């Protein structure tokens, strides 16, 4: 073989070797990432059941101090939470020392301060477990039990962006009225033998109060985020207009998504992927009304989208987690996570079945996208360092 031919052959072999090595490294990286996703899923499943217990043997800190220290820019609570049961027990049992009307919003809620100074938001029961709200997806009152279920779904999906929520029974006559502000107290009334209140909010009406069973009211309590983490509200880029007959731009403009991707904070960092995660989350819980969202202030798009009042590309880790949850695993996981909640059973069987069905719809939609545009276009590897974090 002539020298020139040998050089050309060697060059070709070298190119093949380099491409093979790069391909193998990429595959190894992907396999390692997938294995880590699988390990994270098994860790989550192993620690899913939370027993509410007052014990905090290994620390002198209060439950409120522990929960406050958990909060960082990209998660509200960590993956490993051995103290979660004690914190939720405190939320469900600690003495209420003050009660006031809830922060401004569209739905009825009360702001409670528990022993130790911890704020929580109380949402009262408005529907029975099997009640079906007719009409638009955003019709009707907020469901207190949906808040509890949404928190545990956040745990199951591995997002860790929802504040802690637990069910609680309160006696309106003995626990709330004696410590209520005049503003809240003025909204109390009696309907038959039941104590009721209607609070202060955009849709709150004296003619539509929330009523206890006698004096005992079932509800949910959501842990207030620490004041050192002030929130900033953002208009959701895919929100609706709230004007009858008027479409939002995303409903008719095919180029809208490209425009969003060029707009801060969606043009860099994790925010756009957070929006997509949240769209999956909202679809699973049946929330069609996330017209705004919150993040921590002055974060330049780096902090998470916080899942309060509880999709384009999708994270590989989210895709993997959703696939692990099919074939009834999601329903089983929710059963296990909520088994020890004070208001258990939190969801009815039809609600759990509906979530399993919605999961299949999400998977089918993403599969359709990957078939059309390719895996590399649709699935984004999110375990790489982000430039401004």
Distance CA 196, CA 309 (A): 22
Residue 381, φ and ψ in degrees, nearest 5: -75, 115
Residue 274 is among the residues annotated as catalytic for this protein = no
Q: Is 107 annotated among the ligand-binding residues?
A: yes
Task: Tell me if 142 is assigned to a ligand binding site.
Answer: yes
Where helices occur in the chain by DSSP H, the ranges are 3-46, 63-70, 84-93, 144-157, 182-185, 256-261, 271-285, 316-324, 329-338, 349-373, 375-378
64 is in an annotated binding site: no
368 is in an annotated binding site: no
Residue 277 annotated as binding site: no
The answer to whether 147 is a known ligand-binding residue is no
Query: Which of 100, 154, 282, 289 is flagged as catalytic?
Result: 289
Q: Is 254 exposed, middle or buried (0-12, 13-18, 19+ CB in 10 A)?
A: exposed
DSSP letter string, 120-147: EEEEE--S-TT----SSTT-SPPPHHHH
Q: Annotated binding residue at 305?
A: no
- State how far the Cα of 261 lies from the Cα of 241, in Å rounded to an integer: 21
Known binding residue 322? Answer is no
Backbone angles phi, psi at 228, to 5 degrees: -75, -5
Distance CA 113, CA 382 (A): 38
Nearest by Cα to 229 from 86, 93, 77 = 77
Q: Report how far residue 244's alpha carbon sits from residue 81's, in angstroms, rounded to the nearest whole number.
A: 45
Please indicate if the annotation marks 294 as binding a ligand. yes
The residues carrying an active-site annotation are 289
Q: Which residues are annotated as a binding site for Mn(2+)?
A: 142, 309
């Amino acid at each position: 073989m002539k020298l020139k031919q040998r050089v050309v052959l060697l060059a070709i072999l070298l190119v093949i070797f380099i491409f093979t090595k790069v391909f193998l490294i990429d595959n190894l990286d992907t396999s390692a990432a997938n294995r880590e996703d699988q390990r994270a899923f098994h860790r989550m499943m192993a620690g899913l059941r939370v027993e509410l217990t007052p014990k905090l043997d290994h620390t002198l800190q209060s439950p409120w101090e522990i929960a406050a220290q958990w909060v960082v820019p990209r998660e509200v609570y960590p993956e490993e939470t051995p103290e979660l049961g004690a914190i939720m027990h405190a939320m469900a049992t600690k003495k209420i020392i003050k009660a006031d009307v809830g922060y401004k919003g569209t739905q009825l809620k009360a702001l409670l301060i528990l022993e130790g100074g911890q704020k929580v938001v109380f949402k009262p029961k408005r529907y029975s477990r099997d009640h079906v709200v007719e009409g638009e997806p955003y019709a009707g009152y907020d469901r207190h039990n949906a808040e509890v279920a949404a928190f545990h779904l956040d745990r199951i999906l591995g997002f860790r962006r929802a504040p802690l929520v637990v069910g609680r029974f309160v006696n309106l006559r003995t626990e709330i009225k004696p410590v209520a502000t005049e503003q809240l107290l003025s909204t109390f009334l009696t309907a038959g033998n039941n104590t009721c209140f209607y609070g202060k909010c955009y849709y709150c009406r004296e003619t539509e109060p929330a009523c206890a069973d006698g004096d005992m009211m079932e509800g949910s309590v959501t842990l207030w985020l620490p004041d050192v983490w002030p929130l900033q509200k953002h208009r959701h880029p895919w929100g609706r207009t709230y004007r009858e007959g008027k479409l939002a731009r995303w409903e008719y403009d095919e180029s809208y998504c490209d425009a969003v991707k060029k707009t801060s904070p969606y043009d860099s960092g994790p925010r756009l992927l957070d929006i997509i995660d949240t769209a999956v989350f909202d679809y699973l819980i049946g929330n069609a009304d996330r017209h705004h969202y919150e993040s921590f202030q002055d974060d330049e798009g780096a902090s998470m989208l916080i899942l309060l009042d509880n999709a384009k590309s999708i994270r590989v880790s989210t895709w993997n987690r959703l696939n692990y949850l099919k074939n009834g695993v999601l329903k089983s996981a929710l059963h296990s996570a909520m088994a020890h909640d004070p208001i258990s059973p939190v969801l009815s069987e039809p609600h759990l079945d509906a979530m399993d069905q919605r999961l299949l719809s999400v998977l089918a939609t993403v599969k359709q996208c990957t078939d059309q545009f390719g895996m590399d276009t649709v699935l984004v590897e999110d375990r790489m360092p982000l430039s401004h974090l």
